[in-house]
Amino acid sequence: MTTMTAGPAEATLAAADFRTLSGGLSEPAAIAGARAAAWERFVALPWPTRKSEEWRYTDLSKIGFDALTPVAPATAPSEGLPADVREVLGQSGDRAGVVVLRDGRVAHLELEPGAAEAGVVLCSIRDAAAEHPELLQRMLLEAKPGPAEEKLWSLHLALLGGGYLLFVPRGVEMSAPVHAFHIVERTGTLSSAHSLVYAGTGARASLIDEFVSDDLVEETVSLHGATVSGEGGANVEYVALQRFGRGVKRFSTQHVFAGRDSRVVTFNVALGGDLSRADVTSRLAGPGSDSEMLALWFGDSGQHFDHHTLQHHVAPHAHSDLLFKGALTDEASSVFRGLIRVDKGAQLTDAYQTNRNLLLSEGSHASALPNLEIEADDVRCSHGATIGQVEDGQLFYLMSRGLTRRQAERLLVFGFFDEVLARLPMEGVRARVREAIEEKIGL
């Protein structure tokens, strides 16, 4: 395998060039070439501004990207499972595999022997270049981000510290999820990682990406991408559970591909960090495909959550259903901007989009912008959004039973989220998400 090598790096983004960013790096030529091209695009593209509708509510100019130190891909991560990760796994159900990434690089990777014997592959992106080069090329290196995503996507690919591929071959059904922990440890840094999930025809796969850190004293940015692909008749569940500490800002780009008669469920949970932005695109490319897009967030203390979604119906006879729910208190804010796009040939599309927001304080604020763009003439599509406050009668009832106002509000928030949680089909995944929410809201 051809590799490219350069010298070490430790500079702020403003002072960095591609040679310093790729310092000391020896990797497959395909990855190195994609990295270099992405850096050129990043340098050439302007930063999105609030004049763009997609970035109207999130101001990137307030983030000091230039002062951040990119985490060099050559930096060797520490080995083994951190104590808090071992604790989570000990309290959770069965896991088919575990991945630990520290500041974007794989530090630990293991796959249950039975899954490996069935042909399941869990490997680093670097190893994927040797084992599944065509898949890596199509799913990551040649991906075409939308115009609003392109600047950060280019930076994500240029700085890619690592990531992994979960490959489930034709007809294999995994009985337990793979659990990946993305740990940000270095304050004042900019790190990047990517998750690739591929389920072959008739396969079943599920995965949890969990993002964690302590509270960090300096502004820190985490870039993450996920590509989730289900071939004909596949069933895939992907959960992103974000519970970073304060000081961290996270930008995530997710691309979902649903083939003929496949079903792909994505669930985004945002609880931590100062700012969390997720761009989630589901492409229904095969007749009979089904995409379920779920999300919830709970914000307090000035947190900001921004979700942009696209349900792109390319093929006829496909179904998509989006349910995003957020609860906010203190000075927290959120944005939902969703689009159902139906191409001209996508007749008999059945698509739904719902966003609901619960405000627990006068200082909290939510914006909701659902949209439709339909070129076919035989479809059933609906969209809607609500923003409301907790009903006084519900609070009074709970407080009359001895709960404080804070306890009553938190209990109502958990009930508000239950509609979304109930739609997660795998109990082990659902239990982990419930635990994280209970910890965040103080139940």
Tens digit of each residue's pLDDT (9 = 90 or more) over 261-309: 999 999 999 999 999 999 999 999 999 999 999 999 999 999 999 999 9
d(CA 115, CA 203): 12
How many helices (H) and strands (E) would you count in the chain? 10, 22
Q: How many CB atoms lie within 10 A of CB 75?
A: 19
Of 94 and 136, more confident:
136
228 plus 246 within the same structural domain: yes
C-alpha distances in Å from residue 194, one per residue of 125, 165, 226, 416: 8, 9, 6, 31
pLDDT of residue 21: 67
279 plus 423 within the same structural domain: no
d(CA 79, CA 281): 34
d(CA 338, CA 334): 13
42 plus 154 within the same structural domain: yes
pLDDT of residue 4: 31
Of 290 and 86, more confident:
290
Cα distance from N-terminal residue to C-terminal residue, the chain = 53
pLDDT of residue 232: 96
438 plus 310 within the same structural domain: no
Question: What are 423's two structure tokens?
Answer: 């739609």
Structural domain for 333, as ranges: 30-393
**What is the average pLDDT score of the chain?**
89
How would you class 162 by CB atoms within 10 Å of its CB: exposed for 0-12, middle for 13-18, buried for 19 or more?
buried
Q: Is residue 19 part of a domain?
A: no
Compute the half-sphere exposure of residue 328: CA atoms within 13 Å on the CB side of its CA: 23
356 plus 373 within the same structural domain: yes
136 plus 60 within the same structural domain: yes
Of 252 and 436, more confident:
252
Last residue of a domain, one of 393, 419, 435: 393
pLDDT band at 78 (very low <50, low <70, confident <90, very high): low
Question: What are 148's two structure tokens?
Answer: 């609003």
431 plus 299 within the same structural domain: no
Residue type, 39: W
Q: Is residue 3 part of a domain?
A: no
Tens digit of pLDDT for each residue in 300-312? 999 999 999 999 9
pLDDT band at 68 (very low <50, low <70, confident <90, very high): very high
Mean pLDDT, rounded, for 63-92: 73
pLDDT of residue 278: 97
Closest CA to 144 of 131, 157, 159: 157
Mean pLDDT, rounded, for 201-214: 95
pLDDT band at 203 (very low <50, low <70, confident <90, very high): very high
171 plus 228 within the same structural domain: yes
Residue type, 332: A
Mean pLDDT, rounded, for 394-402: 82
Residue type, 141: L
299 plus 340 within the same structural domain: yes
Last residue of a domain, one of 374, 393, 412: 393
Q: What count of residues does the chain have? A: 443
440 plus 334 within the same structural domain: no
106 plus 203 within the same structural domain: yes
Task: Answer whether 304's CB lies under 8 Å from 276's CB.
Answer: yes
Task: Answer whether 411's CB lies under 8 Å from 420's CB.
Answer: no
How many independent structural domains does the chain possess?
A: 2
Angle in degrees, CA 166, 310, 364, rounded to 5: 105
Enter the pTM of the model: 0.92
Tens digit of pLDDT for each residue in 109-125? 999 999 999 999 999 99
